[in-house]
Structure formats: structure tokens, C-alpha cells
Amino acid sequence: MANDASAVFDTLSPAVSKGSLADPFTPPADSALWRKNFLLGAATASYQIEGAVNEDGRLPSIWDTFSAIPGKVLAGDTGAVACDHYHRWEADIEMLASLGLEGYRLSIAWPRVMDAAGVPNRKGLDFYKRLLNRLKEKGITTFVTLYHWDLPQHLEDRGGWLNRDTAYRFADYADLMSRELAGTVDAWVTLNEPWCSAYLGYGNGHHAPGLANDRFATQAMHHLLLAHGLAVPVLRANDPASQKGIVANIGRGTPNSDSAADQRAAHLFEVQHNAWILDPLLKGSYPQDLFELWPGTEPLVLDGDMETISAPLDFLGINYYFRTNVASDGAHGFRDVPLEGVERTQMGWEVYPDGLRDLLTGFKKTYHNLPPIYITENGMASDDQVTDGHVDDTQRISFLKRHLAAVDQAIKAGVDIRGYFLWSLMDNFEWAFGYERRFGVVHVDYSTQKRTVKHSAELVAKFLKERKARA
Ligand code: FCB
């Protein structure tokens, strides 16, 4: 039912479509969200939705390897089938369009589109061409992420992001993609969340490739940022009309007490989560406090690298999920002190919309050259069930409303925010947590691949329809 585009508005919960229920989502009349040019969309990522990992010449990625290792992913889940989007993309795009979403952020699987020698894989490229052409036909604004964590395994076998050469291979990949796809991409995102790739992948080992060493993390970060910096001019040359940016996840750290030590701990938390990425991009240097936290981990930086990394961006993508309450660990760093009695999601993450507003307004003060911002991910996981064909995801509706209000407050405080993408269009493979954690505004039944539009998506659709009607 929910796969049928025309049917979506007819399947709105009867009370909602008749307007007899107080609408728990629609923003207040003075919200910037009503501006027609504020882009509202949804996001996904290749490994989390595509499946078809052995089809049409796709090569293994580090996530195929990592998820196959017992104990690395909850319940032993892998992305082998995921949402089977590789085969169901047409219906999925219909669904996206039927919800009235105006933007779609997707990612390309690097191991699908070129081999170890750099030879293009036509079948893989054609998949993305078909997808992007269809989105263009539908008038949906496309944000295309080149790297959302599925590094080709053959590159990891040569050191992955610890090997400087991977940055140059990434620029070659960006070159191929922007030559092939120019004209169908509105905005290129070089990397998704380099913090996660560097720290979770090489610093604590919770993500692929599963290495755990702080020195590795800082070096991997440097090579990731270098990859970004090398790719930007390539994208500009091949596809001048599109926007170029990068996506950073940001974390709010608040001190557990007024003590100077706890205040310092909260500062160091934000240095590690935010300044580690934003300082090199926007100031051209790493924050020295990072090396107070991790003494002796300075990466090897060659002449010219910081200039390459800090070349101007057209936009900065921001992903925000939660805040962390921290105290001093008694040495150089911080430790988490989970707060009692606060609202949490299925991930255990605290719901804290003010963190998004405060970080954004803080960045505007810290970085005088802060580019225009898109919120490229925000959302939450809940244990959603389908009952009588409906999914009542009450907590998500409230979560989205409050976070959009935080975005509105940041806009009113002068931050240039141009759009917001829900994470995620549909439930999918949530990395180390597998399929148990449901982040979608559309429910996926993994045994049948049936999609069911959740109540949150119905309300977003209703709002977008109203906004369109007023324009
Ligand atoms: C972000 C990732 C995204 C998704 C959300 C919940 O860190 O970019 O793929 O897993 O978290």
C-alpha cells in the first residue's frame, strides 16, 4: 500500500487527514520552516539500504568484512540484503516523492563503481545514473555523498585511511563520479562524518575496519580530510554548477558540575567531537587541545596539506543526535556521566534539542567564515511496530518537532541554515546495531521488504503539502 505513490495521502491516519486531531508536528506560523526555500528532505546511505553486495561487479567493502566477524554487529546482522533498495529503488523514489519530500541525500558505494585499478564499473555507474535521473525528473534536490563509510576492502588491505595514498585514490573516485554524474547532482558531499570513520573505525574499533589506537585515529582523520580537500577542486572543475561540501557529526558536551575540571572536560569533549574536524576545515589547523587529550598523537602533516583541507566550502552539512554529560576523568580527559531521569531514544541517546541550537550559534561565533549550513541528518530510533497497517511513532514526531524548533531558533539567532534532512527515509542497517534500531520515517518489514509509512512521515507530508499550497 505505502509503495503506491498516489495512495499515501489517502492512507493518512483518518483523524489527521480530517484535521480533527491537534497536529503534533506542524511548526508555528512564525517558523522559518514555512519558508518555501527551506529544503526539507530525507537521507540514506548506500551500505545501509542497498543490499545486492555481490551483484553487477560490486567489490567487497570494509563493512562486508567487518559485519561478517562474529560479535562486531548486533545479532550478526550484515548489509547483504538490507532494504534491497538496489532492486526496489523505483518504488522507494515513488514513496519519497509521494511524501512531498523536496530533497534526498543518498550515498554512492565506492566499491560498486570502480575496481582496484580504477577501471569504471559500468553496471554500478548505471544504477546511480538511473536513480539520479529519476530524482531529477521528480524535481527532487539531490545531495550525493561520495563516502559514507563503505571503503573498498582492497584499499583497506593497503592500509586504508592510514595510508596517505587512499586520499589520492579518493580524488580519482571523485573525478570519475563527477564526470559521469555532472548535471544530476545538486550538492556533492565528499565525506560523511569523518569523526566516525577516524575515531570509531581506527580509534576505538567499534566500526569497520575495527582498529583501536588514538594515534591511528588522528592519522586516519588527517588522510580523510586530505581526501576531502583534494576532491573539492576536482568536483568544482568537473561539475561547476553544483554545491560542494562535507558533513560533520557534532556532539554537545555539558559539564557535570561547575568545577573547573568538569568545565575543562566538557570543553575537551567538544574539541574531540567538533573542533578536531571543523578547525582544520575552517581555520586550517588542528586544535592543540586535542593533543592534550591524546598526548603524542600529532598526525604526520606535509607542507600544503592544511591549505588543501581548508579550501572554501559552499556549505557545511551538520548531523546532530544527542548530548553527552561529562566529568573530568582525573587525568587529561573526560568520562561520560549519564544523567538520570532524562528522555532517551531506543539507542539510549538523550533527547536534547537545545544542544543543536547551542552548537550552531556557538560555531557562528567561533568560525567567522562559517559556510551556509544544511542539517544533513537528525532523527531517532524507536522500537516501532506496525498495527493495523499503521505505525504510531509518537516519540519521533515530538523529537522532530523539537529539533526543527531548535533549528528555527538558530536561524533567528542569525545562523544561515538552508535545509534539514531526516535520518532516515526508511529503517535500515544501523551499523554496529544492525536492524534492531529503527531510524526510519518509513517502516521496513525485513522479512517481506514491505514499506509502511509511519505517522511521523504522514505529518511531515501533510506539512509539506500545506506549505506548497500556501506558496
Ligand atoms: C550517523 C550516520 C548514519 C546513521 C545515523 C544514525 O552517524 O551517519 O549513517 O547511522 O548516525
Q: How many CA atoms lie within 13 A of 40 on its CB side?
A: 25
Query: Which residue ranges of the chain lie beneath pLDDT 50?
Result: 1-21
Alpha-carbon dihedral 331, 319, 417, 23, rounded to 10 degrees:
-120
Q: 3-state DSSP call for residue 254?
A: strand
Rg (CA), the chain: 21
Ligand 1 nearest-atom number relative to CA 45: 9
Ligand 1 nearest-atom number relative to CA 430: 10
Best mutation site among 345, 430, 433, 435 for ligand 1 pocket (most ligand atoms within 8 Å of CB): 430
Largest CA distance in the chain: 64
Residue 300: CB atoms within 10 A of its CB come to 10
pLDDT given for residue 54 in this prediction: 98
* Domains, the chain: 5-470 (3.20.20.80)
Query: What one-character-per-residue DSSP string does 201-244 give?
Result: IIIS-SSTT----HHHHHHHHHHHHHHHHHHHHHHHHH-TTSEE
Please write down the long-range contacts of 384-392, taking CB distance under 8 Å and 24 or more positions apart: 384/427, 384/438, 384/440, 384/443, 384/454, 386/443, 386/445, 386/452, 389/1, 389/11, 389/452, 390/13, 390/452, 390/455, 391/443, 391/452, 391/453, 391/454, 391/455, 392/454, 392/455
pLDDT given for residue 22 in this prediction: 57
- C-alpha 48 – ligand 1 centre gap (Å): 9
Cell reading at 128: 546511480
pLDDT given for residue 166 in this prediction: 98
Cell reading at 385: 511496530
Concerning whether 436 is annotated as a catalytic residue, the answer is no
Q: Cα separations (Å) of 243 from 40, 110, 170, 374, 423?
A: 17, 20, 18, 12, 21
pLDDT given for residue 202 in this prediction: 98
Ligand 1 nearest-atom number relative to CA 437: 6
Q: 3-state DSSP call for residue 98?
A: helix
pLDDT given for residue 10 in this prediction: 40
Query: Could you say which of 50, 377, 430, 458 is catalytic?
Result: 377
Ligand 1 nearest-atom number relative to CA 247: 8
- C-alpha 449 – ligand 1 centre gap (Å): 21
* Burial class of residue 333, CB neighbours in 10 A (0-12, 13-18, 19+): middle
pLDDT given for residue 189 in this prediction: 99
Q: How far apart are CA 393 and CA 13, in angstroms?
A: 12
* Burial class of residue 385, CB neighbours in 10 A (0-12, 13-18, 19+): exposed
Q: Cα separations (Å) of 251 from 193, 299, 376, 396, 455?
A: 12, 22, 14, 20, 28
Measured in degrees and rounded to the nearest 5, phi and psi for residue 218 equal: -70, -35
* Relative orientation angle of helices 214-238 and 165-181, to the nearest 10 degrees: 30
- C-alpha 200 – ligand 1 centre gap (Å): 12
Q: 3-state DSSP call for residue 191?
A: strand
Q: 3-state DSSP call for residue 287?
A: coil
**CB 13 within 8 Å of CB 455:** yes
Ligand 1 residue neighbourhood (C-beta within 6 Å) = 45, 48, 192-193, 196, 249, 319, 377, 423, 430-431, 439
Concerning whether 466 is annotated as a catalytic residue, the answer is no
Please write down the long-range contacts of 281-284, taking CB distance under 8 Å and 24 or more positions apart: 281/225, 281/228, 281/246, 281/248, 281/309, 281/310, 281/313, 281/316, 282/310, 282/367, 282/369, 282/370, 283/310, 283/367, 284/309, 284/310
Query: Could you say which of 193, 270, 430, 458 is catalytic?
Result: 193
Best mutation site among 145, 250, 319, 351 for ligand 1 pocket (most ligand atoms within 8 Å of CB): 319
Nearest by Cα to 459 from 397, 398, 407: 397
Please write down the long-range contacts of 432-437, taking CB distance under 8 Å and 24 or more positions apart: 432/72, 432/73, 432/74, 432/206, 432/207, 433/73, 433/74, 433/347, 434/73, 434/74, 434/75, 434/76, 434/77, 435/75, 435/77, 436/74, 436/75, 436/77, 437/346, 437/347, 437/381
- C-alpha 193 – ligand 1 centre gap (Å): 8
pLDDT given for residue 126 in this prediction: 98
